[in-house]
């Protein structure tokens, strides 16, 4: 996926004026946080598990080289092969080589955000290989020529009517008079349309939620069962994933799985949790004849070595997106790349370059909802502030804001002038507000007052009011 994060402000403005998108995003506004809190509260030990998850991921990242090598040894021992790729180009070529070795013309794909990151589908298409998304949301988006807008709910920006129209436009072999008014009818039609893909594809490609070093297993979590079909029906299974997904043991995976679904979709557990461990053995009823794992760095080593390494703890639950007021206003496409919301605003500058994504860390109210909901306790507001500090130091932030901060900093170091300026400013604001006691619009603060009123000061500085008590 070609990054377009440099256009965030333009994209965000367009999103806010898109009536259909706002209706779709409204679904996130209702009980997004409440549903997750409710299911967490039914598990009294959730906080203990969350602490354990932090320890697991922190330990894994600290010894990443060790566990990746252990993972590779166990994959090879099971008859599989590991492909080490420094960037997206190498990863795409590795997958293409596997497809060519088997004369593949069609590929069935399970959900993989990393494949979006490296634009795998486009690369295969340029070499006449048809990659079909089998996750329902991503299948719909593929028909529409769109990219995912949410980590776990990729088509959250669409309405049911829009999906029905997409199916009518692209499923020409179905009865033109059929009803598509119910969600069940849409899923049934998608199931029928995709059945042939599962049966005919020579290669199955999935992502991985976790890689288990001690067993050489790749773990994938789905709610539709498409991941199982992609892994077992085609003769070749290829796992495409980032190096940060490795963890030491199966017990660690079970700990992480107990918090993943609760944080992602508000479920106790996902419908399907699959452990892919090597190729088919002689006594196996099904499974692939070949098993490949494509391990991608693509900037993750650099991220690991720097001050943003905590972002690599992310387990891609998408909870921070669902509760973020900015994301709920503009959606995922406004961020211009694969990862949206607070985690995207941290990861994207690190992976594609700060200059290309300099506006993303600014898209935060610092309400703290993302950090509160994160099951692996990533300090997202603190990481966003670090990006803002970098932007200020490097001159990437707008000149107007740097100048304003410079004036404020100078004034704050002059106690007498500061008190005089504050008294004058507060007096002026009180006079401007008049009897209303609120501001509908303020000079230099149009963005703040565009969709909300601000209360006027009640009179006097804090110091003045403290002295009067």
Q: Which of 237, 276, 243, 216 is nearest to 95 (CA)?
A: 237
Instruction: Please determine, for residue 444, whether its predicted confidence score (pLDDT) is greater than 80.
Output: no
C-alpha 331: how far from chain center: 11
Residue 392 CA to residue 379 CA, distance in Å, equals 20
Is residue 446 over pLDDT 70? no
Q: What pLDDT is attached to residue 33?
A: 67
Find where tokens 């099971």 sit: 78
Domains and CATH numbers, the chain: 31-298 (3.40.50.10420), 301-397 (1.10.1060.10), 406-468 (no CATH)
Which of these, 211, 312, 296, 225, lies nearest to 253 by C-alpha position? Answer: 211
Q: What percent of the chain has pLDDT over 90?
A: 73
Q: Are 75 and 293 in contact (CB under 8 A)?
A: yes
CB 442 within 8 A of CB 449: yes
Residue 212: which pLDDT band, with cuts at 50, 70 and 90? Answer: very high
pLDDT of residue 2: 85
CA distance 282 to 284: 6
In angstroms, rounded to a whole number, what is the distance separating the alpha carbons of residues 137 and 158?
10
As given in the structure block, the two tokens for residue 54 are 């932090």
The helix/strand/coil state of 435 is coil
In this predicted structure, what is the pLDDT of residue 445?
A: 65
pLDDT digits (tens, 9 = 90+) for 222-259: 999 899 999 999 999 999 999 999 999 999 999 999 99
241, 207 contact by CB (below 8 A): yes
Is 3 in contact with 348 (CB distance < 8 Å)? yes
Q: Both tokens of residue 169?
A: 């436009």
- Check residue 397 and give its pLDDT: 72
In angstroms, the CA 133 to CA 140 distance is 9
Q: Dig out the tokens for 135 from the structure.
A: 């996750």
Q: Which of 88, 94, 89, 120 is nearest to 107 (CA)?
A: 120
CA angle (57 as vertex; 54, 61 as ends), nearest 5: 135
Residues belonging to the chain: 469
Average pLDDT of the chain is: 91
Residue bearing tokens 């634009």: 119
Q: SS3 for 183?
A: helix
Q: Kindly list the distances between the CA atom of residue 233 and the CA atoms of 116, 203, 209, 284, 289, in Å, as whole numbers in the listed order.
A: 23, 9, 20, 13, 10
CB atoms under 10 Å from CB of 458, counted, come to 9
Pairing of strands 236-242, 290-296: parallel
Q: What was the pLDDT predicted at 285?
A: 84
Residues 147 and 154: their CA atoms lie apart, in Å, by: 8
């Amino acid at each position: 996926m070609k990054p377009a994060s440099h256009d965030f402000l333009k994209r965000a403005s367009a999103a806010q004026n898109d009536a259909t998108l706002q209706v779709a995003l409204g679904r996130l506004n209702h009980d997004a946080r409440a549903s997750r809190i409710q299911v967490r509260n039914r598990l009294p030990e959730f906080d203990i598990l969350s602490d354990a998850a932090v320890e697991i991921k922190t330990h894994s990242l600290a010894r990443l080289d060790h566990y990746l090598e252990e993972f590779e040894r166990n994959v090879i021992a099971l008859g599989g092969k590991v492909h080490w790729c420094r960037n997206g180009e190498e990863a795409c070529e590795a997958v293409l080589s596997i497809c060519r070795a088997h004369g593949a013309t069609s590929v069935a794909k399970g959900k993989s955000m990393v494949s979006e990151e490296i634009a795998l589908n486009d690369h295969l298409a340029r070499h006449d290989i048809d990659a079909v998304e089998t996750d329902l949301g991503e299948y719909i988006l593929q028909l529409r020529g769109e990219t995912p807008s949410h980590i776990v709910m990729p088509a959250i920006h669409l309405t049911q009517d829009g999906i029905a129209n997409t199916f009518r436009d692209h499923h020409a072999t179905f009865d033109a008079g059929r009803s598509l008014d119910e969600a069940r009818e849409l899923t049934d039609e998608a199931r029928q349309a995709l059945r042939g893909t599962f049966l005919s594809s020579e290669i199955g490609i999935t992502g991985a939620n976790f890689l288990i070093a001690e067993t050489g297993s790749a773990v994938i979590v789905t709610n539709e069962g498409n991941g199982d079909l992609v892994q077992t029906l085609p003769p070749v299974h290829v796992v495409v994933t980032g190096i940060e997904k490795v963890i030491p043991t199966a017990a660690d995976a079970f700990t992480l799985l107990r918090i993943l679904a609760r944080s992602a979709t508000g479920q106790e557990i996902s419908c399907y949790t699959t452990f892919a461990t090597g190729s088919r053995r002689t006594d196996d009823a099904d499974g692939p004849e070949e098993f490949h794992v494509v391990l991608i760095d693509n900037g993750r080593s650099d991220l690991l070595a720097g001050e943003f390494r905590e972002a690599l703890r992310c387990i891609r639950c998408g909870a921070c997106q669902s509760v973020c007021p900015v994301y709920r206003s503009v959606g995922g496409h406004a961020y211009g790349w694969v990862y949206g919301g607070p985690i995207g605003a941290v990861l994207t500058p690190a992976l594609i370059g700060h200059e290309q994504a300099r506006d993303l860390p600014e898209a935060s109210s610092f309400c703290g909802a993302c950090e509160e909901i994160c099951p692996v306790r990533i300090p997202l507001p603190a990481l966003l502030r670090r990006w803002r500090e970098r932007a200020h130091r490097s001159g990437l932030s707008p000149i107007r804001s740097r100048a304003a901060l410079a004036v404020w900093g100078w004034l704050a170091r002059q106690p007498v002038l500061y008190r005089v300026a504050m008294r004058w400013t507060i007096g002026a604001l009180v006079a401007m507000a008049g009897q209303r006691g609120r501001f509908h619009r303020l000079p230099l603060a149009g963005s703040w007052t565009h969709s909300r009123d601000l209360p006027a000061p009640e009179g006097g500085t804090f110091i003045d009011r403290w002295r009067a008590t």
